[in-house]
A and B are shown apart, each in its own frame.
Chain A
Amino acid sequence: MSNRCAVIGVGQTAYTTKRHDVSIAGLVREAALRALEDAGLTFKDIDAVVIGKAPDLFEGVMMPEAYLADALGAAGKPMMRVHTAGSVGGSTGLVGASLIQGGVHERVLVVAFEKQSESNATWALSTHLPFNASLVVGAGGYFAPHIREYIRRSGAPDHIGTLVAVKDRLNALKNPYAHLKIPGINREMVESTPMLWEPIRYLETCPSSDGACAMVLSSESKVTGTPAWVLGTAMRSEPIFRAGRDTVNPQGGKDCAADVYAQAGITDPRRELDVAEVYVPFSWYEPMWLENLGFAAEGEGWKLTESGATALDGDIPWNASGGVLSSNPIGASGLIRFAEAAQQVRGMAGEHQVDGARRALGHAYGGGAQFFAMWIVGSRKP
């Protein structure tokens, strides 16, 4: 079977609406240098670089890995560019891990970024004529009907989304990198904000952020510092236009979770995982993914959220970092989930550390809820 792989360095930039002070190259280099510093290494110690980001239309630079090779110390080395829509950050981590697991390299730098202030995200995410009817609805307009269908199926009460919006922003107050820090955040504040796409209110959506995240991945023999061991990796995709696919509770997500749990020897994720960083760009996706990922039975996810189980002091904290709802440089958001999961089991998550976290899930999804990337990391060598 494949070789062991560990996360030995994590670097993040502060996430914010607009980084006036750095170029695109400066942004990714900042995250990369922090990850290398965390690992006690330099660019010289890196065998290969894997970079990921969402559509190139966000920054207007086509295939930017060519331009970013210099800033990431990749010259003279192999460099890859991954793009799997919103799940790309997660996929980037998995492609990097694959290079170690396949025995091709000993140390790989993975970097994901988005500098969304360079353009308009809703425009860059929309396809237009002649390829598609141009709805210009962006992600919120696309996912709102799925959420309404979830509410219809499960009979969840209206305030569940609000609870998630508040919980994740309370967690963000403990995360020095988080974009949205809203002192005094509470249900009344969320409910007083405008309705954007029924039932998603302004404060129930993710922000549009500039930011980058990087990790140093290592083979077993080259581990430095505190490792987070990769216990399982999985990706799944399904076709967006397949008639009859369940877009509310997608099969791809269920299959991906089953695969990654089997590799990590997990049969009951709620009990056997200590913390999860899950891609929740709109508040209602917490209960939806709780069910899709097997933390709750179908129709029961909202009850877990309502009970407080997913809060930082609950029995299975979700998005202790504040999640995508608090920071969203789209192409990096998946890798941030993977990195935050690693920080938890390394015991290096700072103020939002879940005490004694030993096993954590990192999750990302993208496209029309059709691309999934997941990993499980642990404090103990598999």
Chain B
Amino acid sequence: MRDVAIVAFAQTRHTATDSGLSEPELMLPVLEEIRSQTGMRRFGFTCSGSCDYLAGAPFSFVSALDAVGAWPPIAESHVEMDGAWALYEAWVRLQHGDVDTALVYGFGKSSLGDLRSIMTLQLDPYYLYPLGLDQLSYAALQASALGASRADLDAVARRSREAGATNPHALELPAEPGDPVVDPLLAWDIAPITDGAAAVVLAAGDAIADLAARPAYITGIAHRIDPHYLGMRDLARSASAADAARAAGVGKGHVDVAELHACFSHEELILREALGLPDSTLVNPSGGALCANPVMATGLIRIGEAARRVMDGTASRAVGHAASGPCLQHNLVTVLEG
């Protein structure tokens, strides 16, 4: 495959409540930062990820184009998925060889509605939705299936909260467990409601050296989806994450840093196992989704955070992971190297 690298990454200072900014207004400073990092205003391809249901109105991506500018008209597409899949689409597009740069972004404001019941609308409308499980209930079901100890869950949550306290983009959250929510999940096991946005620039060919002194090369990227029905999966494992990790070549070398899209403490345990990460891998030094979860940008931020550590030299090989669907149904794994 053609060499493609991440050469720039920017994100908002995420907020726990609605700051009054519209989605284009949320995107604009992030895009300005990307422009100043790269010195570029036009890209060979543009792709974004967002979800209409967060705001409860159609066409969230339409007004976001106003923030991009998009004039003269641009070659552009959109996935109704996390921005990580927009990054995948852009990586594929760069494989064609006729364009050398791509802008990728994702954004979401989950403060606008009731995220827990909105995510329930993702379930099969005929057989699963009527059961009345909200997002927290089916996550708790998976946590129970895994049967992890409270000490293991606490270790993930505590480490994430402590790391998040050093990340200026993450929310300010107390390093304490909080109240029980749905057994066995406590408040700090659950990713917080967050508004935010992020953007990444991909480059290929000569553009890589032109745009970054230390690019983060994408040496592997793959994604897989599992069956939807929770009863058809072993919820204690993630077959699709393991398959994607194999296809991306995670095991071909030591992983210094992994940013995992775990919206619940137990998901990190399942993902570490699926990706075959050893104890020596530093997981979620950003604090991860447990410290900031701007839905539809969270996965893209994991890839951006992993790339940032390769670009600043603190890691020579890093993994960025994104997830979608109920109980880690759909997983995308990216390997980044200096």
Contact = CB atoms under 8 A, between A and B. Distances in A.
B329 A66 contact: yes
B332 to A, nearest CB: 9
Given A78-B222, A82-B79, A131-B57, A237 B73 contact: yes
B55 A75 contact: no
Q: Which 5 A-B pairs have the closest CB atoms?
A: A102-B95, A252-B73, A55-B58, A66-B325, A237-B76
B75 to A, nearest CB: 6
A77 B330 CA distance: 10
Given A63-B324, A370-B62, 11 more contacts: A1-B98, A60-B121, A63-B81, A64-B122, A76-B224, A76-B225, A79-B330, A103-B95, A236-B73, A239-B71, A252-B73
B324 A66 contact: yes
B173 interface: no
Interface stretch (B123-131, B207-215, B255-263): B123-131
Interface stretch (A83-91, A177-185, A186-194): A83-91
A377 to B, nearest CB: 18
Contact of B92 (A69, A76, A102, A124): A102
Nearest to B93: A98
Interface size of B as a range:
35 or more
B249 to A, nearest CB: 15
Nearest to A234: B75
Interface stretch (B8-16, B184-192, B226-234, B308-316): B226-234
B224 A238 contact: no
Interface in B259-284: none
A25 to B, nearest CB: 8
A2 interface: yes
Interface in A21-67: 23-25, 55-57, 59-67
A240 B326 CA distance: 34
Nearest to A126: B58
A61 B122 contact: yes
A80 interface: yes
Contact of A98 (B73, B81, B92, B330): B92
B77 A235 contact: yes
A78 B122 contact: no
Given A63-B81, A69-B329, A82-B77, A240 B65 contact: yes
B59 A85 contact: yes
Given A79-B225, A80-B85, A81-B80, A237 B74 contact: yes
A235 B58 contact: no
B151 interface: no
A60 B123 CA distance: 11
A155 B329 CA distance: 56
A69 B55 CA distance: 25
A154 interface: no
26 contacts: A2-B98, A24-B125, A55-B59, A65-B225, A66-B228, A75-B226, A76-B239, A78-B222, A80-B79, A80-B88, A91-B77, A91-B78, A101-B96, A104-B1, A104-B92, A128-B57, A236-B76, A237-B73, A237-B76, A239-B69, A240-B63, A240-B66, A251-B73, A255-B73, A367-B62, A370-B65
Say which size band chain A's interface belongs to: 35 or more
A70 B229 contact: yes
A125 interface: yes
Interface string B114-145: 00001101111110100000000000000000
B58 A78 contact: no
Contacts of A125: 58
A375 B57 CA distance: 30
A83 B78 contact: yes
A240 B65 CA distance: 8
B58 A81 contact: no
B52 A66 contact: no
B163 interface: no
Contact of A238 (B53, B71, B93): B71
Interface in A363-382: 367-368, 370-372
B78 A82 contact: yes
A61 B121 contact: yes
Given A60-B121, A63-B324, A237-B73, A242 B66 contact: yes
Contacts of A153: none
Contact of A70 (B228, B243, B326): B228
Contact of B122 (A63, A70, A76, A245): A63
Nearest to B325: A66
Contacts of B124: 25, 67
A28 B271 CA distance: 31
Contacts of B165: none
A111 interface: no
Contacts of B71: 238-239, 242, 245
Contacts of A128: 57
B228 A80 contact: no
Contacts of A82: 77-80
B178 interface: no
Max count, chain A CB within 10 A of own CB: residue among B92, B225, B324: B225
A11 B324 CA distance: 28
A127 B57 contact: yes
Nearest to B58: A55
Contacts of B286: none
A345 interface: no
A251 B72 contact: yes
B125 A60 contact: yes
Interface string B88-100: 1100111111100
A245 B71 CA distance: 9
Nearest to A123: B58
A80 B59 contact: no
A165 interface: no
A223 interface: no
B81 A81 contact: yes
Interface string A196-226: 0000000000000000000000000000000
Nearest to A69: B225
Interface in A236-278: 236-242, 245, 250-252, 255-256, 259
A342 interface: no
Contact of B58 (A2, A102, A127, A245): A127
Nearest to A91: B77
B80 A76 contact: no
A109 interface: no
